[in-house]
Amino acid sequence: MAELSCEVLVVGAGPTGLMLANWLTRLGVQVIVADGKDGPTIESRALIVQARSLEIYDQLGIGDQVLEAAHRAEALAPGFGARGFGRIPLGPLGGAVTPYPYIEVLEQSRNEEILYENLQKLGGQVLWESPVTAVVQTEDGVEAKVGNHTVWARFCVGCDGANSMVRKARRIDFEGVTNPHRFFVLDATGAGGLQPDAINVRPYRDDFLLAFPMRGDGNWRLIGLVRDVDGDGALDEEDARARMLRTYGVTYDRSRWFATYRVHHRIAAAFRDGPFLLAGDAAHVHSPVGGQGMNTGLQDAHNLAFKLADVLRGTRKDGWLDRYEAERRPVARKLVATTDRVFGFLTSGRWPLRVLRRVAVPLLAPVGVRALPGSSGGSRLFQYVSQIRIHYRLDPAGTPGRRRDPVVGRRLPWADGNHAALRAACWQIHAYGGVTAADAPDLGVPVHVFPAAPATVLRPGLFYLVRPDGFVAARAEPAEADTLFRHAMAR
């Protein structure tokens, strides 16, 4: 049995664990990634990559590679049963706020392959076929049993899914509920009866169907309720096929993958317990509505990597890691609650909600098709779903009930080429007209002066302090910037 040591042990080599390992390795942290599988996932599993995740991929330097591998969903196509109500183009909803104004369909397996290949290029590796079977806290950090190895680490991050061994070992409650219905997920070839290159959303009286276009002609991911249609006592693919044909007029030739599952809405009671941290499905699980799951995990990893690197470099004290839970758990809590409500609306068998679905959806969906593309409400909806509108409470003057700052605590608004500067992954100062670099405080960080950006909330005459993860930590007029920015960088 070999003894190994590292600064961070990452348990689980799914998208979250691999994203975390990529960023930690790039930031110079010694990482060991361990997983019981023999390689990246083979099944497609999660498959939506939202705009904010694409921005993180771009910051990592592999955004173009992800886009090349993905299939673009250009619109939403609402319907009711077999009826369609047209298309809502995504480009007009997000074109002013991100360079990625669509929803990209890229299955989890390909995300993992791309992240694993990039980790290898950065000099990192994964201990495959090495399940983590025990973790204990020590005076200096963590001791773990990893396959046939003993690993000593300063920190351990559980990215090991909904049945997380790390979470269970630390006896952290996984609070929430399980939906009573059973659902199917099916990757179909030769599918028909769907709006092409669009995410089809088809609720019905006591049913629903979600359809996501995948790469390849006629290839679709189909998700819906499964019931025993043929009365054979089993919930299988033929039940799903019969129900889709009868209710939605959707057909397909064959399936490449079929599985049934129950949907959980749960969140860990804590994201940190001393040297142990949780991310991705180990910290939160919810319904597939909105395609949020994998993306939230990728963004957990992105947020956590910079904080771990700061502590391990000695530029921050250990308490800085508490900010990870303070920032990311509210995001997960809101997401779990929102998807629970939406899923409840789609699947509830209570007659008031069944009547509401039957009346409201056919009435409101056609209105949305006409109104959303040119409205501020449509853009705001895109920002929520794409996770661009996430807010962290960073403003020192911020108090409950007070209007949130439109910039501080949010990801840096996109203004043409300004996000390219974020690839440096360091603290930096931005300005957007009205000042020069000479007016900026000397904090030993890069200063970028861009033209005025009137189409955004970035105002001329101000400096903006941007964190390495792309979130704005503070804004100030030139006379106050030195004091305010030093305070923001230290807190």
β-strand pairing of 183-189 with 48-49: unpaired
* Residue 345 confidence (pLDDT) above 80: no
- In the chain, the amino acid numbered 9 is L
* Percentage of residues of the chain with pLDDT beyond 70: 91
Instruction: Give the C-alpha separation, 113 to 68, whole Å.
Output: 14
Instruction: Give the C-alpha separation, 103 to 207, whole Å.
Output: 24
* Residue 490 confidence (pLDDT) above 50: yes
Q: Do residues 184 and 305 make contact, with C-beta atoms less than 8 angstroms apart?
A: no
Cβ neighbour number for residue 82 with a 10 Å cutoff = 14
Structure-block tokens of residue 388: 């661009």
* Percentage of residues of the chain with pLDDT beyond 90: 71
Residue bearing tokens 């995504």: 90
Domains of the chain in start order, with CATH, are 2-69+106-173+269-336 (3.50.50.60), 71-105+177-266+351-375 (3.30.9.10), 410-490 (3.40.30)
Instruction: Give the C-alpha separation, 140 to 153, whole Å.
Output: 8
Number of helices (H), then strands (E), belonging to the chain: the values are 12, 26
Tens-digit pLDDT profile for residues 232-276: 657 789 989 999 999 999 999 999 999 988 888 899 999 999 999
Q: In what order do the strands lie in the sheet with 174-178?
A: 174-178, 264-268, 284-285
What are the residues whose beta carbons fall under 8 Å from the beta carbon of 471, sequence distance 6 or more?
392, 394, 409, 410, 411, 412
Which class for 321: exposed (0-12), middle (13-18), buried (19 or more C-beta within 10 A)?
Answer: buried
pLDDT bracket for residue 402 (50, 70, 90)? low
Tens-digit pLDDT profile for residues 434-456: 999 999 999 999 999 999 999 89
pLDDT bracket for residue 335 (50, 70, 90)? confident
For the chain, how are helix, strand and coil distributed in percent, rounded to 5? 35, 25, 40
Tens-digit pLDDT profile for residues 369-388: 777 777 777 888 888 888 99
Rg, Å, the chain Cα set = 23
* Residue 348 confidence (pLDDT) above 80: no
| Mean pLDDT of all residues in 178-202 | 91
Instruction: Give the C-alpha separation, 442 to 431, whole Å.
Output: 14
Q: Which long-range CB contacts under 8 A does 241-245 form with residues at least 24 apart?
A: 243/207, 244/209
Structure-block tokens of residue 151: 């690993």
pLDDT bracket for residue 427 (50, 70, 90)? very high
pLDDT of residue 196: 94
Going by C-alpha positions, the residue among 409, 445, 408 that lies closest to residue 429 is 445
* Residue 331 confidence (pLDDT) above 90: yes
Cβ neighbour number for residue 452 with a 10 Å cutoff = 15
Worst-scoring range by mean pLDDT, 5-14, 89-98, 141-150?
Answer: 89-98
pLDDT of residue 287: 77
